């Protein structure tokens, strides 16, 4: 289970503030705690800085790389930002993300191919938000065709079927779960990923909903997630789900997490 | 999601003590708290009283029925006990349980048919403990054949595929999850049920493992479980799983449970 640590995202006000004020120590601490908490990739996003996203994200990348050996997940919808910044990554980064939008595909796929970088692909096109499992799988299938035709191996593709708030559609999480199950079966070797916070928008006890969705998604085959690994309740649910689904030999990871006080 | 409340089971020492000493108040309080916590059936078991199980269980049944309107789940492997006590239930009880053992089938199926009582059937025969998903589904299929041939509708059958400790077999929970998924797809109208505590035997943080297993099992289609509804963390996981899997319209049950302080 690949953990993409989500905290260094400028859509969070305190992160935007730290980036705007050049607070190296704050950003580096965010990187360090997520690294220590089990991140496999550290996501970096400066999308709110319209017009200066590239400069701000470059600063974040350099700031973060000074304190962690973990690879980055370079998070921008802008092909120009991806093109400029992926080469700055010391270790092959994860690219976050493409959709079926033509300009993103044309701008980002060559970089991913040339750098051998894995990439996240959202089940979303210019005109479609995929709400049903069928729509999500159909868009995933199109993404698979386009990405592999561009010379990128399926093993480097992380499909995010997206999840919409349960509060507005009771079936939204179920659609995502079914899509994960079908995508993992139909395209052996592919990966799936997902953010967790959207599902609980507008509901009470959001963290309970988020971690329950994570367990259900892992049960359906999800092998990567965008989350905050420093949340011990969430991390505990993840480790328990790995054990339950037969992916933790002798439950050693679970027992280790227990010994480290990471399960609650 | 049908909740079979598990606490009044004489394999728990404090319950055995209360039954042995005829402590009506204690047993009635156990019934009341489980009723109020959302039990659909109240399980009653006096199996440890060898030679006087029938008398003890009759006392428990009468004691419990004096304080709750909820139907009982009459829990004994002994056909003679089932035959004698099912008629004492004021509401049609759930019978817990049959296996593929001939004496249990011959003794219990006629009672279930004549009383129109639903029954739990364990994936277990005289000589087989079903460890793999294949074995569990094969035994479930045999149970379906035998039970329906006896004139009992599929809708009255609750298959328990059983789960064995993860600590001794990393794949044990996964086998049960796959069996639940396959049984629910192959026999439309059937039900599945499961106890949760076995899976975590020998591990730390057992309650975390138990409730994670419950979420995974609900994701795979489990529609009933034998559990302690007064455990709010477990109840919260159950309600969240119902919402995630699209079985809680507008998340109203989840929001109600939140308002009642039942989610944590």
Residues of A whose CB is below 8 A from B236: 205, 208
Return the pLDDT at A129.
86
Question: Would an 8 Å CB–CB cutoff place B209 in contact with chain A?
Answer: yes
Return the pLDDT at B264.
82
Return the pLDDT at B165.
97
Residue B100 CA to residue B145 CA, distance in Å, equals 11
Return the pLDDT at B179.
98
Return the pLDDT at B129.
86
Task: Count the neighbouring beta carbons within 10 Å of the beta carbon of residue A67.
Answer: 17
Helix (H) / strand (E) element for A136: namely helix A133-149
Q: Give the residue among B46, B5, B10 at the shortest CA–CA distance from B228.
A: B5
Q: Which residue ranges of chain A lie beneath pLDDT 70?
A: none
DSSP A16-52: HHHHHTT-HHHHHHHHHHHHHTT-SEEEEE-TTSTT-
Write the pLDDT tens digit of every residue in B162-179: 999 999 999 999 999 999
Residues of A whose CB is below 8 A from B179: none
**Contact assignment for B237 to A173 by CB distance below 8 Å:** no
Tabulate helix, strand, coil % of chain A (nearest 5). 50, 15, 35
Return the pLDDT at B126.
85
Q: Which residues fall within 8 angstroms of residue A23, CB to CB, at 6 or more apart?
A: A17
Question: Would an 8 Å CB–CB cutoff place A222 in contact with chain B?
Answer: no
Residue A213 CA to residue A205 CA, distance in Å, equals 13
Write the pLDDT tens digit of every residue in B70-128: 999 999 999 999 999 999 999 999 999 999 999 999 999 999 999 999 999 999 998 87
Burial of A13 (0-12, 13-18, 19+ CB in 10 A): exposed
**Contact assignment for B244 to A166 by CB distance below 8 Å:** yes
Going B2 to B7 to B8 to B10, the CA torsion angle's sign is: positive
Residue B228 CA to residue A33 CA, distance in Å, equals 37
Burial of A177 (0-12, 13-18, 19+ CB in 10 A): buried
Residues of B whose CB is below 8 A from A174: 244-246
Mean pLDDT of chain A: 97
**Contact assignment for B244 to A174 by CB distance below 8 Å:** yes
Return the pLDDT at A39.
98
Return the pLDDT at A197.
96
The pair phi, psi for residue A125, each rounded to 5°, is -125, -175
Q: Which residue ranges of chain B lie beneath pLDDT 50?
A: none
């Amino acid at each position: 289970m690949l953990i993409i640590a989500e905290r260094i995202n400028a859509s969070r006000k305190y992160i935007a503030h730290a980036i705007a004020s050049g607070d190296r120590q704050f950003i580096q601490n965010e990187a360090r705690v997520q690294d220590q908490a089990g991140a496999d990739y550290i996501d970096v996003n400066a999308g709110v800085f319209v017009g200066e996203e590239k400069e701000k994200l470059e600063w974040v990348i350099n700031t973060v790389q000074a304190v962690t050996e973990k690879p980055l997940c370079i998070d921008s919808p802008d092909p120009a930002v991806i093109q400029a910044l992926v080469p700055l990554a010391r270790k092959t980064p994860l690219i976050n993300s493409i959709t079926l939008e033509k300009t993103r595909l044309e701008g980002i796929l060559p970089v991913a191919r040339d750098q051998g970088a894995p990439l996240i692909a959202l089940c979303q096109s210019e005109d479609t938000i995929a709400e049903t499992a069928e729509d999500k799988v159909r868009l995933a299938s199109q993404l698979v065709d386009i990405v592999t035709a561009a010379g990128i191996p399926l093993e480097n593709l992380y499909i995010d079927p997206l999840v919409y708030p349960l509060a507005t559609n009771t079936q939204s999480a179920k659609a995502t779960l079914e899509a994960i199950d079908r995508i993992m079966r139909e395209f052996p070797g592919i990966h799936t990923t997902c953010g967790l916070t959207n599902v609980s928008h507008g509901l009470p006890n959001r963290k309970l909903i988020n971690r329950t969705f994570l367990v259900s998604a892992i049960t359906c085959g999800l092998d990567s997630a965008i989350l905050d690994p420093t949340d011990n309740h969430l991390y505990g649910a993840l480790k328990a789900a790995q054990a339950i689904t037969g992916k933790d030999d002798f439950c050693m990871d679970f027992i280790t997490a227990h010994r480290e006080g990471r399960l609650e």
